[in-house]
Amino acid sequence: MMKRFVVLEKKVGETPLSCLLSYKKAHPELAGIPASYAGRLDPMASGKLLILLGEECKNQAKYTGLDKEYEIEVLLDVGSDTGDALGLLEFESVETALSLKKLRKALRKERGRHARAYPQFSSKPVKGKPLFMHSLEGTIDAIDIPMHEERIYKTKILGSTLIESKALEHRIKDFLSKVPVSDEPSKALGADFRIARVRKCWEDVFEQTSERTFTILKLRVACGTGAYMRSLAGRIGEALGTKALALSIHRTKVGKYWNGLWLKKF
């Protein structure tokens, strides 16, 4: 009997669609069988992607509201317009001394239900096109950005590390080398994620920071659907008095979370 769903491990640089198509190509017995992903995952994020198969695709709505768990790395003193390393950068020249007291306070404040505006670089459609296209076209100020409820159930500090500028530079170059490029005419404006401008931004940062270190926080976050880890990283930076971005995002669980426990996991 055919499975109703599978959980794939999406790699950095894969879109949900390319991950799904790669799986179907590796399983020729699924030729002609409908398949759809239940819940998006940023192309430059990795981790669990729930794929529905066959008749189960008709039940997609019941899967899209599932809770998620992520492990993220937050880079301090560098922010971006996208909230991750694939954006145009803002750089704080003064190195932030990490205060665990401030960090714990910031994470406590994040827990619970909050009304948040959708990120400007998100796929939320407004007036027939996703917000990120409005941002790229320069029309973002001419529209009202909708709100949504964001739920953060639990956060845990997994640690913090210092990374030298040169080591961070190598890591960013590897990250940017995995950026996917779309050849769809409708996505021409953002087809390469502004990669040339983004690379130049990082080059400028590393030219100014050759002798310094950066702090990377590692966090585990249990949350409701639609919580944006890129936005969370930026808010953490603000709480610590600096800029910050999500250096990596890895989805570790998809399921139902209640009162500190995962009642169901896919």
Q: What does the pLDDT read at residue 189?
A: 56
67-to-53, 103, 114 alpha-carbon distances in Å: 20, 24, 16
153 with 191, same domain?
yes
Instruction: Please say if the pLDDT value at position 184 is more than 70.
Output: no
Q: Assign 188 a pLDDT band (cuts: 50, 70, 90).
A: low
143 with 251, same domain?
yes
Residue 162 lies in a domain: yes
What is the rounded distance in angstroms from the CA atom of residue 62 to the CA atom of residue 216? 36
95 with 182, same domain?
yes
Q: Assign 88 a pLDDT band (cuts: 50, 70, 90).
A: very high
Q: What does the pLDDT read at residue 185?
A: 57
Q: What does the pLDDT read at residue 264?
A: 85
Residue 266 lies in a domain: no
Among 44, 63, 82, residue at a domain's last position: 63
Q: How many domains does the chain have?
A: 2
Q: What is the pLDDT of residues 109-135, one digit of tens each?
A: 999 999 999 999 999 999 999 999 999
Percent share of the chain, pLDDT over 70: 96
71 with 33, same domain?
no
223 with 250, same domain?
yes
Q: What is the CATH number of the domain that holds 239?
A: 3.30.2350.10
Find out whether 162 and 97 touch, Cβ atoms under 8 Å: no
Beta-strand ranges (E) seen in the chain are: 5-10, 35-37, 46-53, 67-76, 78-80, 89-91, 112-117, 125-126, 129-130, 147-164, 213-223, 244-258, 261-265
Residue 159 lies in a domain: yes
132 with 240, same domain?
yes
250 with 143, same domain?
yes
Q: Which structural domain, as residue segments, surrounds residue 251? A: 67-260
Residue 227 lies in a domain: yes
72 with 181, same domain?
yes
Residue 193 lies in a domain: yes
- Give the mean pLDDT of the chain: 93
Find out whether 211 and 233 touch, Cβ atoms under 8 Å: no
When mean pLDDT is compared across 6-10, 90-94, 197-201, the lowest value belongs to 90-94
Instruction: Please say if the pLDDT value at position 178 is more than 90.
Output: yes
Q: What is the pLDDT of residues 18-59, one digit of tens each?
A: 999 999 999 999 999 999 999 889 999 999 999 999 999 999
Q: What is the pLDDT of residues 134-155, one digit of tens each?
A: 999 999 999 999 999 999 999 9
Beta-strand ranges (E) seen in 166-243 are: 213-223
Q: What does the pLDDT read at residue 265?
A: 87
Treating both helix axes as pointing N-terminal to C-terminal, what angle do 195-208 and 165-176 enclose, rounded to 10 degrees? 170
124 with 221, same domain?
yes
Output the six-digit token pair for 75. 């880079």
161 with 233, same domain?
yes
Residue 265 lies in a domain: no
Across the range 76-92, mean pLDDT stands at 96
Instruction: Please say if the pLDDT value at position 1 is more than 70.
Output: no
181 with 82, same domain?
yes
Among 63, 90, 107, residue at a domain's last position: 63
Q: What does the pLDDT read at residue 40?
A: 87
Is 0.85 topped by the overall pTM?
A: yes
Find out whether 183 and 38 touch, Cβ atoms under 8 Å: no
205 with 247, same domain?
yes
Among 43, 63, 83, residue at a domain's last position: 63
Q: Assign 3 a pLDDT band (cuts: 50, 70, 90).
A: confident
